[in-house]
Amino acid sequence: MNPTAFSQTEETLKHCRLTQTLSPAQATVLAELLAASEPWLTLNISASALAKYLLRTDPALKRYTVEVQGVLAGVICLRYPWLRGPYIELLGLAADFRGLGIGGELLAWAESQARLECQNLWVVASAFNQKALAFYQHHGFGPVGLLPDLVLPGHDEVLLRKSWG
């Protein structure tokens, strides 16, 4: 029997640990960290809105806290099933944990899970967020479409996909 994608409740990676539980206190801390950085600042998404997103009931949304040496460092949320492969709805790390290879490790993990059952992995990044676009393209994602006004009028989002097979 093949393993099911994103079925594990805990994963230990090289630089971090993922746990598929998210307490209200963790959601509040993560929301405050993320709301103070891009793209959430430009998109005017508040910490309370992010916390509500992180805690809402949604059986198709897999939420994993990211811890580094026991410290809450970020979150990755994946919608699965979604079209022809999982969709990374949110990948966010606290500023102190960016640029350390953790984001790339999270993408590699998401891809390894997706490969169990699918041939695509999807993500959306704000067109103004050149760092995010460069990050995803560096990890093999390519743009497949522009989504005008998706999150906020006047701001475009770029749909990116990584495919195999």
Phi/psi of residue 103, nearest 5 degrees: -60, -45
Q: How far apart are CA 162 and CA 137, in angstroms?
A: 9
pLDDT band at 23 (very low <50, low <70, confident <90, very high): very high
Phi/psi of residue 155, nearest 5 degrees: -125, 130
pLDDT band at 1 (very low <50, low <70, confident <90, very high): very low
User: Does residue 155 belong to any structural domain of this protein?
Assistant: yes
Grouping H, G, I as helix, E, B as strand and the rest as coil, residue 122 is strand
Q: For 74-130, how does the pLDDT look when each residue is reduced to its tens digit (9 = 90+)? A: 999 999 999 899 999 999 999 999 999 999 999 999 999 999 999 999 999 999 999
**18-34 average pLDDT score:** 97
User: Does residue 3 belong to any structural domain of this protein?
Assistant: no
User: Does residue 142 belong to any structural domain of this protein?
Assistant: yes
pTM for this prediction: 0.94
CATH number, domain of 73, equals 3.40.630.30
- Number of domains within the chain: 1
Q: For 123-159, how does the pLDDT look when each residue is reduced to its tens digit (9 = 90+)? A: 999 999 999 999 999 999 999 999 999 999 999 999 9
State the distance between the two ends of the chain, measured CA to CA, in whole angstroms.
Answer: 21
User: Does residue 5 belong to any structural domain of this protein?
Assistant: no
The C-alpha angle with vertex 32 and arms to 75 and 72, in degrees rounded to 5, equals 40
pLDDT band at 28 (very low <50, low <70, confident <90, very high): very high
Closest CA to 122 of 157, 89, 90, 161: 161
- Sign (positive or negative) of CA dihedral 57, 15, 139, 37: positive
Residue the block writes with tokens 């006004």: 149
User: Does residue 2 belong to any structural domain of this protein?
Assistant: no
Q: How far apart are CA 62 and CA 106, in angstroms?
A: 14
What is the span of the domain harbouring residue 78? Answer: 10-163
Say how many C-beta atoms besides its own lie within 10 A of residue 47's C-beta. Answer: 18
**30-48 average pLDDT score:** 97
User: Does residue 46 belong to any structural domain of this protein?
Assistant: yes
Q: How far apart are CA 148 and CA 146, in angstroms?
A: 6
- Sequence-distant (6+) residues with CB within 8 A of 69 are none
**40-55 average pLDDT score:** 97
User: Does residue 1 belong to any structural domain of this protein?
Assistant: no
pLDDT for residue 65: 98
